[in-house]
Amino acid sequence: MQTTVFDFLPSESHYLIKKLLTVDHLLVKVKSERKTRHGDYRQLANGKHQITVNSNLNRYRFLITLIHEIAHFEAYTKFGRSIKPHGKEWKQTFQHLMLPFLRPDIFPADLLPLLANHFKNPKASSDTDTQLALALKQFNEPNNKSFVFELLLGQSFRLYNGKVFRKGNKRRKRFECVEVSTGKLYLFNPNAEVELIEE
């Protein structure tokens, strides 16, 4: 049996998602994991509109990502292509679309207050909301990954591309991390998922 987008979503959300996709005539594709994004939206050469979402997301993050991308489509349709991708028009659209989903039959009760807080001013990525990202992580398939903010100062970690870094001090929002082989300094989002190297 062929998998569909609904196989990746909380079952109680199916009716609302069907309504959104029918109205907007959107093509949704589920993709294998991409390291740099959870999903994306674009207009195809034939004039149709396509959303892609990563298959490795847990069902709650998948739903948030899908609505995030539908909000891009609706914001561009309503306000035109000159708006900022994650500007006020997109934020208002995202809030409006997400509101009907913030229910205890769709999301676990412990996620709802964090989601309500996040959607007061949604960011370009829910990954930048440390509390929400950590709460969503508990629904992932078990893996050996840690968030950068969970590591101790000076601990080494490996990225998906094999590069090794050592965690440094926190700046205002991100952590300074030194690439071990080059000595170059990079800034890491606190919620970047990395593999801890036991020393």
State pLDDT tens for residues 38-67.
Answer: 899 998 888 888 999 999 899 999 999 999
The topology (CATH level 3) of 5-137 is Zincin-like (3.30.2010)
With left for phi above 0 and alpha for psi between -120 and 50, is residue 14 left, alpha or beta? alpha
Q: What is the pLDDT of residue 1?
A: 46
Which residue ranges make up each domain of the chain?
A: 5-137, 145-196
State pLDDT tens for residues 132-165.
Answer: 988 898 898 877 788 898 899 999 999 988 999 9
Distance CA 75, CA 168 (A): 39
State pLDDT tens for residues 54-101.
Answer: 998 999 999 999 999 999 999 999 998 899 989 999 999 999 999 999
Other CB atoms within 10 A of residue 75 CB: 26
The topology (CATH level 3) of 145-196 is SH3 type barrels. (2.30.30)
Q: What is the pLDDT of residue 3?
A: 67
Name the pLDDT band for 22 (thresholds 50, 70, 90).
Answer: confident
pTM for this model (two decimals): 0.82
Q: Please, which residues bridge with residue 176 across strands?
A: 187
Q: Tell me the three-class secondary structure of 12-76, residue by residue.
A: HHHHHHHHHHHHHCEEEEEECCCCCCCEEEEECCCCCEEEEEECCCCHHHHHHHHHHHHHHHHHH
Q: What is the pLDDT of residue 2?
A: 54
